[in-house]
């Protein structure tokens, strides 16, 4: 019995095949020489852990071992263990969400590289005359959005700055003007608009490096150099690649949704599938893409804060692209985070109203904020803010009556009255919603909806994250 608990060198010499192990190699592969040797020199003492285990483990990684020997030099084995544990914990902390290490690499290496590359290729020196502005697509508080085209390199000076009315003709008729873009004019003289435009530009550059597939391709910005039709001298314009004709909101407006988006999402019509199931499959595909994109965005430390069908463009190839990052916040470094400020769409906004509790102070300087950010994320899970909005989008896709603005408003007052408990809402609602799609497959859709549309609750985690969803 004693030899089992603390074997002598004799028993170990007989049984060394059983006792020598490595985390990486199988038992029989392990070179046990040094182990038995050290035991022989101290008979009766159970000294293999941690001293020789450390040596053994490190012998598998000669480079790390030599580096460690250089760093830890004269340290005892216990101190070496302490060093390794400390280094491991530091690594875990720096790579935990929102990724202090990756963020630092992005800020101090990738961003300057992108800037240099863009300068070389001329991307950072866009001009007013590089684009022709077409129809107005929308107007928010801080900007007006237009469709447009890139003026080809061989265009004449008159084509570059056409007289009023001619621009549109060129857009429609000239084959050379085929690269479509979206232009957002940042409003001039509106309080907060300039700041909003700068943030939107910053977030687009950041995401173009960290998660380009989640958002519209950002082409850059320019400042108008003179007054001319829509241009106001000194006004900033942001430019994106045109990603698609319709947003998810446009598709939802059509009574035939989700069949109107089926061939875009799947590249074909789902034949032979029963109709309710078919609708569910389409919605599931859209929802999966929204959640995957949100996960990637949240992994970078960014919370969008304005997730809604009107801010989701569907590309020709059935990819979902998030747009409109003017209200986004980067909680890795506190970018565009002002305590107590809320700029939200009340129809999609979660009950907590703010990404972080109101008492959270203004962010410290960026490097310090970045160092503290894993703690902030662990304590507050700010990403769950967007997940509530994604839940509302899911309900709108699955419950036809909620696609109307008036019904959505009624839903919002009803859900508030039951403290954001979707199961209670189901029992008490007067809206008579059709829940067939959500109830399919033992209510999997309903289950997801209840976990997205909920209060934050205890420890502020009472809602599914994009990763969990
Ligand atoms: N990259 C893009 N590709 C295709 N369409 C786009 C793109 N970006 C924006 N749009 C279209 O322009 C509209 C407005 O864009 P955006 O949401 O960025 O601006 P906004 O300031 O919120 O304006 P609004 O309040 O009208 O939505 C979108 O709803 C969409 O139809
Ligand atoms: Mg918008």
User: Is 382 close to ligand 1, i.e. is its CB under 6 Å away?
Assistant: no
Q: For residue 29, what pLDDT band results from cuts at 50, 70 and 90?
A: very low
> Per the confidence metrics, is the pTM higher than 0.95?
no
User: Is 200 close to ligand 1, i.e. is its CB under 6 Å away?
Assistant: no
User: Is 152 close to ligand 1, i.e. is its CB under 6 Å away?
Assistant: no
Protein residue with least CA distance to atom 18, ligand 1? 324
278-308 burial by CB neighbour count: b if 16+ within 10 A, else e?
A: bbbbbbbbbbebbbbbbbbbbbbbbbbbbbb
130 is annotated as an active-site residue:
no
Residue 122 contacts residue 130 (beta carbons within 8 Å): no
Predicted pLDDT of residue 380: 85
Q: What is the DSSP string of 8-48?
A: -HHHHHHHHHHH---SSS-GGG---HHHHHHHHHSTT---I
Residue 223 contacts residue 239 (beta carbons within 8 Å): no
- Alpha carbons 243 and 320: distance in angstroms, whole number: 10
Q: Which numbered ligand comes closest to the C-alpha of 242?
A: 1
CA dihedral 271, 274, 279, 285 (to 10 degrees): -60
CA 296 to chain centre: 3
Contacts of 110 (CB under 8 A, 6+ apart): 209
Q: What is the DSSP string of 156-212?
A: -HHHHS--TTHHHHHHHH-TT---EEEEEEEPSSSTTHHHHHHHHHHHHHHHHHH-G
* Polymer length in residues for the chain: 469
Instruction: Tell me which fold the domain 126-242 belongs to.
Output: Phosphorylase Kinase; domain 1 (3.30.200)
- Please write the tens of the pLDDT for every residue from 226-269: 888 888 899 999 999 999 999 999 999 999 999 999 999 998 88
- Alpha carbons 181 and 198: distance in angstroms, whole number: 19
Q: Which of 141, 145, 250 to mutate to test the pocket of ligand 1 (most atoms within 8 A of CB)?
A: 145
CA 116 to chain centre: 25
User: Is 324 close to ligand 1, i.e. is its CB under 6 Å away?
Assistant: yes
Q: Which residue has the higher pLDDT, 43 or 184?
A: 184
User: Is 137 close to ligand 1, i.e. is its CB under 6 Å away?
Assistant: yes
Protein residue with least CA distance to atom 10, ligand 1? 182
Predicted pLDDT of residue 19: 36
Average pLDDT taken over every residue of the chain: 84
Protein residue with least CA distance to atom 11, ligand 1? 137
Predicted pLDDT of residue 17: 39
Q: Which residue has the higher pLDDT, 12 or 137?
A: 137
Which of the residues 306, 324, 383, 386 is marked catalytic?
Answer: 306
For the segment 348-368, the average pLDDT, to the nearest whole number, is 83
DSSP SS3 for 74: coil
- Alpha carbons 252 and 267: distance in angstroms, whole number: 19
- Alpha carbons 29 and 26: distance in angstroms, whole number: 5
List the single range of 17-26, 194-203, 415-424 with lowest mean pLDDT: 17-26
Q: Which of 386, 335, 375 is nearest to 97 (CA)?
A: 375
For the segment 146-172, the average pLDDT, to the nearest whole number, is 74
User: Is 96 close to ligand 1, i.e. is its CB under 6 Å away?
Assistant: no
Domain ranges of the chain: 1-45, 47-90, 126-242, 247-460
Predicted pLDDT of residue 51: 58
Cα 372 to ligand 2 centroid, rounded to whole Å = 31
- Alpha carbons 76 and 58: distance in angstroms, whole number: 15
- Alpha carbons 452 and 10: distance in angstroms, whole number: 62
- Please write the tens of the pLDDT for every residue from 371-380: 888 988 888 8
Long-range contacts of range 45-51, CB-CB < 8 Å, 24 or more positions apart?
46/6, 46/7, 48/19, 50/77, 50/78, 50/81, 51/77
Tell me the CATH number for domain 247-460: 1.10.510.10
Predicted pLDDT of residue 28: 40
* Neighbouring C-beta atoms of residue 112, cutoff 10 Å: 10
CA distances, 149 to each of 121, 125, 181, 312 (Å) = 19, 17, 5, 21
Residue 414 contacts residue 425 (beta carbons within 8 Å): yes
Evaluate the omega torsion of the peptide bond into residue 9 and state whether it is cis, within 30 degrees of 0: no
Residue 43 pLDDT > 60, yes or no? no
Cα 204 to ligand 2 centroid, rounded to whole Å = 14
Cα 184 to ligand 1 centroid, rounded to whole Å = 8
- Please write the tens of the pLDDT for every residue from 312-349: 999 999 999 999 998 899 988 888 887 766 667 899 99
- Alpha carbons 54 and 48: distance in angstroms, whole number: 9
């Amino acid at each position: 019995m004693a030899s089992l608990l603390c074997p002598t060198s004799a028993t170990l010499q007989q049984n060394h095949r059983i006792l020598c192990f490595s985390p990486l190699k199988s038992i029989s592969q392990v070179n046990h020489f040094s182990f038995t040797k050290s035991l022989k020199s101290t008979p009766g003492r159970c000294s293999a852990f941690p001293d020789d285990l450390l040596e053994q483990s490190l012998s598998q990684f000669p480079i790390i071992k030599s580096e460690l020997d250089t760093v830890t030099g004269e340290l005892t084995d216990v101190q070496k263990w302490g060093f390794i544990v400390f280094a491991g914990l530091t690594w875990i902390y720096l790579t935990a969400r929102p990724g202090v290490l990756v963020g630092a690499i992005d800020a101090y290496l990738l961003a300057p590289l992108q800037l240099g590359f863009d300068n070389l290729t001329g991307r950072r020196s866009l001009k007013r005359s590089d684009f022709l502005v077409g129809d107005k697509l929308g107007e928010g508080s801080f900007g007006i959005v237009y469709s447009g085209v890139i003026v080809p390199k061989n265009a004449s000076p008159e084509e570059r700055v056409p007289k009023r009315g001619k621009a549109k003709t060129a857009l429609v008729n000239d084959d050379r003007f085929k690269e479509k873009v979206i232009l957002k004019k940042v409003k001039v003289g509106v309080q907060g608009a300039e700041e909003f435009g700068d943030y939107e530009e910053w977030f687009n550059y950041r995401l173009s490096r960290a998660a380009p597939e989640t958002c519209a391709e950002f082409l850059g910005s320019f400042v108008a150099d003179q007054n001319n039709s829509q241009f106001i001298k000194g006004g900033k314009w942001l430019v994106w690649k045109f990603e698609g004709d319709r947003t998810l909101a446009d598709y939802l407006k059509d009574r035939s949704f989700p069949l109107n988006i089926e061939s875009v999402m799947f590249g074909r019509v789902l034949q032979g599938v029963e109709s309710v199931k078919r609708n569910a499959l389409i919605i599931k595909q859209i929802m999966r893409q929204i959640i995957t994109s949100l996960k990637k965005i949240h992994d970078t430390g960014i919370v969008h804060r304005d997730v809604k069908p009107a801010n989701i463009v569907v590309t020709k190839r059935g990819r979902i692209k998030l747009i409109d990052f003017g209200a986004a916040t980067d909680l890795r470094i506190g970018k565009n985070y002002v305590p107590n400020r809320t700029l939200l769409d009340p129809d999609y906004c979660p009950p907590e109203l703010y990404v972080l509790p109101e008492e959270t102070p203004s962010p410290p300087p960026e490097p310090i904020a970045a160092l503290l950010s894993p703690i902030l994320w662990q304590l507050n899970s700010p990403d769950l803010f967007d997940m509530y909005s994604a839940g509302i989008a899911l309900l709108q896709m699955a419950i036809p009556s909620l696609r109307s603005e008036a019904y959505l408003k009624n839903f919002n007052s009803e859900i508030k009255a039951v403290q954001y408990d979707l199961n209670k809402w189901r029992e008490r609602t007067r809206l008579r919603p059709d829940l067939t799609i959500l109830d399919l497959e033992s209510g999997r859709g309903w289950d997801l909806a209840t976990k997205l549309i909920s209060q934050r609750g205890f420890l502020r985690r009472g809602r599914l994250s994009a990763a969990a969803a």
